[in-house]
Structure 1
Amino acid sequence: MPDKMKWILENIKTLSSHEKATLAHCLISSLDDANEKHVDEAWIQVAESRFAQLDSGAVKPVSWEEIKLKLNREL
């Protein structure tokens, strides 16, 4: 394992949850390939479609708390 990676793994426990989340986001984002632009465009279309459904009232929003409760009941 490269020294840089060892250092990161040894020091990650000193980061806050927010810092870890930011780091995870940055690492995942760095995997994106410029050739995958069509994937980004597809996600934008999905997001815009879902927003339009919410905005028009065609679907009702569900809070994260409601989702967690439902998951806990199902497990």
Structure 2
Amino acid sequence: MADLPQARAAKEGLRARIRDRDGVVGVGIARRGDGYCLKVNVTTEDVATRVPSDIDGVEVRVRVVGRITAQA
């Protein structure tokens, strides 16, 4: 399991890698057991299949959340 500095570095690498992909609505860090993983929110299952399962040895978990819209 990755420590927080590893997760932060991997997050920046992942963001750069998937920055221009339509359907990615969020990239963050989440606790997992004694360490950290990356969490990617996407709009559809199709987008989810195009996100890597790990980057630089840090696990990537993907969640399909649908479109994100502002609420007034």
TM over 0.5: no
Q: Give 1 or 2 for the bigger CA radius of gyration.
A: 1
TM-score normalized by the length of structure 1: 0.29
Instruction: Judging by fraction of residues, say which structure has more strand.
Output: 2
Instruction: Judging by fraction of residues, say which structure has more helix.
Output: 1
